[in-house]
Structure 1
Amino acid sequence: MSELQTFDKVQAKLCELTANSPDIIRCQAVQSLGAIGNKDAVPALIDALLDEDEDVRCDSAASLGEIGDERAIPQLLGNLVEDPCGDVKQQAVIALGKLRSKEVLPYLRTLCVSRDKSITWDEDEFMQGGWDDWLDIQLKSIELLGQMNDEEAIPFILKAIEDENGQDVRSASTASLAMLGTKGMEVLSELLSNRDERLRYSAVKALGSIDKPEALDFVKRALADDDVRIRRLAVEIIAKHNPNDPVLQEIAFANDLELRVEAFRLASIDENTRLKALLDEPDARVQIAIISGLKQGPSITSEDEIIYRLLSDRLSNTADEITAAALEVLSLRAGKLVLPRISNLLVNVDTKDAVLWSCVKALGTMKETKALRDLRKLITNDNRTLRLEALAAINLHASSGRKEALQLLEDAANGIILLDEGVSKETEEAQNQDSNKEVLEDLKAVGLKVDTKEIQDQGPSSTLGSILGDEEKAKDIVDAGSGDETPVKLTNKDLHLLSLAQRIPRKRKVSPDGEGISVNEDIRCFASRLLGDYPRQEVNQVLENCLTSQDNELRRTALDSLSRNLSDELSLSVSAIELIPGLLNEKDPELRQLVYKVLDASYQDEFEAFILEGLKDISIPTRTIVYGIAARRGLVSTEFLEQSLKDIHPLIRSVSARELSHRKDKNVVSSLVDFGFHEAGQHKDEAGPLLRTLNPEQASDELMERIENENPVTWLSAITMLKTIHGPLAA
């Protein structure tokens, strides 16, 4: 059967179902005909406008609006006037609007003001439900009158606006008036003097949408409005239409502070004018707006230039926001000159966080080597946000091809970036071990038996009870030294035990704003994440090194980056492959998922055993990933995937269906059709697109056969899949 014959057969069947099937099937059938969009279905859909079920009538009206055939106009008008259901009326109005029906205009004019008495309404439904369907139809009528360019509707729209007891139609009405040519524009201009500020705001906004000089002239009148929101809106509209408009220059130096901010922010005001204004401007917001317009321009090469002097003066003793704005401009136009000032701000303990962040952002745009050195110092800052911003800035340099920046990221991921105290993670751990040994030796010296392994595993305790292994004895010693009325004389041994109890082992440096995250591990994690954008062998080696860490988050991050970097040309090293069995035995399912993604990205024949074993993973999301890999790599048969379509887990069924659809096998179509019906049609929305791509003709024939021979319960799933197969492609 040809594709055209199949389509005709499907459409004929759907048209038949609009009349001879249960109501829920009729709804689905008319929806599908609308989605398919063929005009041969119009007669059946017109008949469905008279269906006894209001949902069928609603869906039919919507479908006719989508198809756009004028044959539907008379009956749609009939539903608007005679149908008691408000929802059907609204869908009829929308469809008639799409059809540009002139016959509906008189009804729309009346409906935008009140219920049309010539139209039938279900008063009982209003009394029981408490909602007037006309309110929804009113807004839609106002909207359509504008879209249909009905200038005769202007008095009706104004009447709707003036109805103090009605719903708020200001925004919809002014937007509609803006579409009604010169007359609508003139009406909007008259609304600018209305006492209702919300209506004035809507009128200005509507005038701003009209691409005519006269409309812009009306907007300029709003610059004198009493409401600051309206004045600001007017400036925005003027600047959008013409940022060089002379009126913006005037506003920039007027007395209205709010408008001055907007004018300097949005208008194209030249540099000399901005600098002149900056000289004596006291207001912080205006200064920021002035400075924001200085980002573009020639490089600043001398500290004697007035722009440099004015901006560098604002790097200290000013509001943080002003400093940040000045820094941004100077970093873009005077990087080398301003770099020493930035360095000073970074080491100044009084520099606020907002300014520090601006410094980091500025350093990220500078090409000087010293900028990278300053960023490196910030990597280990106690403020987590700041250090991550510093790493992100270094990444900007690396992405532009700077090898030294990429090396910094590699060092950070390797954990060799020094902490503020100059102690690396490796050194920290060594010092911890030395400290533990000292405590052990001291405990033995006072004659105590200690469990060496326990102390080494846990580190020395800071409580005397843990040292002695006897809480009661510890309490006696502590009480003796706490100033009791009858003090006990402490022996030298007791005093030494107390001193041991007060010794605190060295701990890894923890970020105060990172919820207990070790700074070093945090740095390594973020750097590893950034390195996922650099598919190079030396980078991958760094990421592979991270896989030996005991920190799960670091390993997950490194694996994720490796999965993005690896390819047939960039494969895993032998040492990394040796780690795979251990990683796949980890309890963390997310980590295992990432391992499998790495194996897929750099697939080698020796990975087959790992993949096949992963098909039995206890984690369903993990198994889902492995199923996809195994299918793509040809490690499982078509029969295996078909059997998996009946798996008890929906995710497994879905991935199996997706992978099956890539196999050009006639029998696969039948399996995917069955998949669409599985569990009462749970997968019908997934099966439709797969069948459309694989073999739409065969799939349609099989689905039609199901409709002919099976219980109506299955028809919904069949119709849904047919709609997807023959309708427009999903966005």
Structure 2
Amino acid sequence: MNAQSENLLRDAAVALLSEFAKSEYDVVRLRAIQALAALGARNSPALVEALLDDDEDVRQDAATALGQLGVEQAVPQLLENLIHDPCGEVKLACVTALAKLGAADAAPYLRTLVTGRGDEIVWDEDEYHQDEWDDWLDTQIAAIRAVGTLGDAVAIEPIVRAVMDEEAQELGDVACEALGRIGAAAIPTLGVFASSPKRRLRYHAVRALAEIGGSEARAILRKALSDEDGGVRLLAHEALMEHDPQLVEAALTDPQEDIRLAALARAGLSEPELLDRMMRDPGSRVQLALIERLDRTSPIADTDDLRWQVLDFLSTGEQPEVAAQALGLLAALAPELMTDRLKTLFAATPDQEQAERDQWAVVDALARSPVKEAAEWLQRACRSPFRSVRLKALATLGMIVTEEGRAHVNQQQGRELLLSLALSPMPVAEEKKEDTAEIEEAPRNDIQALEEAGLDVSHGGENGPTSSLGAILGHDAIAAEMQHEAEQAEEMPPLSPREQALLARATRQPKRRRVALDDDAEALEHESRMTAIRLLGEVRGMQAMLAQIVRDPDPEAAQQALGALGNAVARHGAELSMEQLAGIATDGLSTADSATALQALKLLRQAALPPLPELRGKLRAILRTGEAPFRIEAMQILCAWDESADAARELLDDPSASVRQASMRLISEMTPEEAGAVIVPFLLANPDQRILTYIGDNPQAKRNVAGELMQKLRDHDRRATWPVMIAALADLLSQPGPAV
């Protein structure tokens, strides 16, 4: 819908809702006011008139809306409600609205509310005694914020009295925030608060002074540099170091680690004395921050590089996490200089806990390495005995293969590794002695085999878009767990057979390697292959290989390949002929495995194949008797083939909510002129549903549904459903912006 028709529709809705704002039913009036606010109807007189409504909820929502929408004409009535409306919640909404509207006329009353209920202001005493809660306490906080928003310097004195009242609620934070907004006039008062014996008051006062700035505020902040509380000192240092670089060196010796971190962010790395101090800092966070500041875009050529000296020192320190991160960055930037150390690291046994942390950090750094040797060490990581390292290595491999802008040599090696995982399972070591056994393997030319299979793995291969970690691993829960383990590296659980199966496969290039034995090595091989097959769907140029795997005798491999093929077609477009895709989909639908058949249906839809007469009968049968996901896919395919929404209409009364939702969305897309007649009755029967769920972004459907709603709203016999329809209309036509 164009801007003009959308405005006309919204104007018609505003006019109708303004009528409902005068309804005899309070719930209808309330919904109408909320809808007018959602539509941004700042020019509707109904909002101001609602401040006089008999229902306090209507008055409260009207006051909130007027403030949010910036209706300055409402200031006199809002002020009247503030003074004379007995409802505390309405007063609270009026205080906030008047502040948003910059109502200077309200300042005297707001100052009064800062310290008390006020003799001129009416309150509902019965409500106070009944609820045993003084509404003024909430209003007091809102009033302090309001005078701060208005920049009312006259309010400084009542704010001080409120803060110093020993019997009052704690107001230091909100008072200092308001004084900070008032600005320079409040600096002397904040200076007094900054020397208070109360730590919390000092903290908020110093923060407000830092926000105000200026020489007068900085003079007070200098005194706070020696405050006994580290948080207060941190605020003062952060505010002053920008103007006084000499404070940086002193801050690097502060006992508070956060202050040293703030100083490090401003310190230069060219001063040997300061750099040495940072390297030897007792806090791990400071050392980790130093590592983060080092340049990662260029390799380290030799040991004279300053980065090598810093990282080499930290990698042998006593902080486990620091040592791991330093080692990882060394591996990413200087793998040739680190060969012996990395070989030792990846020869670690499962009982070496620090080795797990170090390997994980190495893989994490290799993901962003600018050098070609990164892929070689990722191959080693894929054979790690540690579950977390294997997960990280496969995730990194997937991102190298699919991410644009990656160094091409790593992408090419990544493609080869991925294909070897998908095509040929890793040889399983036989248990001979204890936990590991050496395996001899003759060199094999994978590239030649892949080219013979018709797959383009040339130097100029293209990349696909970046995949999410969940897409790479094929399971969002596992991805989330892996990320959690990265953050909580202290306690990493041992690998389970199923978890190892995700990432147990590595390249076949090394002649000798160690393979961690497992209770079910066959399951490891199988699950690793499934993960690789899923990843192939993310990469351009892999559809021919996936088509071969679809015919694999392993049903799960065929299913995963079908799903990956559909994903690849949807993501990159078809690389196979229509005849090839039709044959694959037809064969998939003929299988007895339901999961494979569902993937075949999805492929039919994603490939947008032309009508296949031999499959129409099967799709019609699925439409009648298939499970919900099958019915949805069959419906979408048939509607596309017929260029008609007839199949979707057949499922409007389907017992499955997901099927009904899919059918209504499809009707809205294909025949938007029917959307209102289809969706509104369903909405009235299911008032908990959001109407936009069934419409999508189709402008014509939105206009049709809005028209249907407004027509039914004019029917007095439908008054029981008015609140539902008003809320739906607001949801349909609401304007983006702050929540009202």
- 1:269 is matched with 268
- 2:50 is matched with 48
**Structure 1 residues 655 and 352, CA, compared in 2 at 3 Å: closer, same or farther?**
same
Separation in 2 of the partners of 1:23 and 1:277?
A: 69
Give 1:301-316 correspondences, 5 Å limit: 301-305=301-305, 307-316=307-316
Separation in 2 of the partners of 1:189 and 1:418?
A: 73
Work out whether residues 348 and 355 of structure 2, in 8 Å CA contact, stay in contact via their aligned partners in 1: no
- 1:334 is matched with 334
**Structure 1 residues 198 and 530, CA, compared in 2 at 3 Å: closer, same or farther?**
farther
- 1:650 is matched with 657
CA displacement at 1:179 relative to structure 2: 1.1
Separation in 1 of the partners of 2:343 and 2:101?
A: 67
Separation in 2 of the partners of 1:99 and 1:576?
A: 65
CA displacement at 1:216 relative to structure 2: 5.1
Work out whether residues 414 and 542 of structure 1, in 8 Å CA contact, stay in contact via their aligned partners in 2: no
Work out whether residues 222 and 231 of structure 1, in 8 Å CA contact, stay in contact via their aligned partners in 2: yes
- Between 515-524 and 198-207, the greater mean CA deviation after superposition: 515-524
- Between 272-281 and 512-521, the greater mean CA deviation after superposition: 512-521
Separation in 1 of the partners of 2:223 and 2:439?
A: 66
- 1:533 is matched with 538
Give 1:146-295 correspondences, 5 Å limit: 146-210=148-212, 212=214, 215=217, 218-237=220-239, 245-252=245-252, 254=253, 256=255, 258=257, 261-263=260-262, 265-273=264-272, 274-277=274-277, 286-295=286-295
- Between 310-319 and 95-104, the greater mean CA deviation after superposition: 310-319
- 2:364 is matched with 361
- 2:32 is matched with 29
State the secondary structure of the residue aligned to 2:396: helix
Give 1:500-579 correspondences, 5 Å limit: 518-537=523-542, 541-542=545-546, 545=549, 548=552, 558-567=561-570, 568-571=573-576, 576-577=584-585, 579=587
Write out per-residue CA displacement over residues 556-596 of structure 1, whole angstroms, 9 at most, x where no aligned residue. 7655543331144234657744651256x4456xx765554
Separation in 1 of the partners of 2:318 and 2:528?
A: 32
Separation in 1 of the partners of 2:308 and 2:28?
A: 74
Pick from 94, 108, 123 the counterpart of residue 96 of structure 2. Answer: 94
- 1:678 is matched with 685
**Structure 1 residues 364 and 643, CA, compared in 2 at 3 Å: closer, same or farther?**
closer
Give 1:313-712 correspondences, 5 Å limit: 313-316=313-316, 318-331=318-331, 333-349=333-349, 350=352, 351-366=354-369, 368=371, 370-398=373-401, 399=403, 400=406, 401=408, 402-418=411-427, 421=437, 518-537=523-542, 541-542=545-546, 545=549, 548=552, 558-567=561-570, 568-571=573-576, 576-577=584-585, 579-581=587-589, 585-586=592-593, 594-605=599-610, 606=612, 611-616=619-624, 618-631=626-639, 633-635=640-642, 637-664=644-671, 666-679=673-686, 682=689, 684=691, 686=693, 693-694=700-701, 696=703, 699-700=706-707, 703-712=710-719
- 1:717 is matched with 724
- 2:112 is matched with 110
Separation in 1 of the partners of 2:621 and 2:439?
A: 43
- Between 104-113 and 348-357, the greater mean CA deviation after superposition: 348-357
| 2:666 maps to amino acid | E
Gaps of 5+ in 2: 430-436, 441-495, 503-517
CA displacement at 1:25 relative to structure 2: 0.7
- Between 401-410 and 525-534, the greater mean CA deviation after superposition: 525-534
Separation in 2 of the partners of 1:234 and 1:595?
A: 64
| 2:567 maps to amino acid | R
**Structure 1 residues 337 and 382, CA, compared in 2 at 3 Å: closer, same or farther?**
closer
Separation in 2 of the partners of 1:344 and 1:199?
A: 55
TM-score, normalised on structure 1? 0.77
Work out whether residues 10 and 39 of structure 2, in 8 Å CA contact, stay in contact via their aligned partners in 1: no
- Between 528-537 and 149-158, the greater mean CA deviation after superposition: 528-537
The structure showing larger relative contact order (alpha-carbon pairs under 8 Å, at least 6 residues apart) is 2
Separation in 2 of the partners of 1:422 and 1:599?
A: 46
CA displacement at 1:601 relative to structure 2: 1.9
Work out whether residues 700 and 722 of structure 1, in 8 Å CA contact, stay in contact via their aligned partners in 2: no
| 2:394 maps to amino acid | L
Gaps of 5+ in 1: 425-507
CA displacement at 1:382 relative to structure 2: 2.7
**Structure 1 residues 666 and 255, CA, compared in 2 at 3 Å: closer, same or farther?**
closer
TM-score, normalised on structure 2? 0.76
- 2:735 is matched with 728
Separation in 1 of the partners of 2:636 and 2:213?
A: 53
Work out whether residues 415 and 520 of structure 1, in 8 Å CA contact, stay in contact via their aligned partners in 2: no
CA displacement at 1:97 relative to structure 2: 2.0
CA displacement at 1:183 relative to structure 2: 1.6
- The alignment-based identity, stated in percent, is 26
CA displacement at 1:94 relative to structure 2: 2.1
Work out whether residues 17 and 29 of structure 1, in 8 Å CA contact, stay in contact via their aligned partners in 2: yes
| 2:412 maps to amino acid | K
- 1:20 is matched with 23
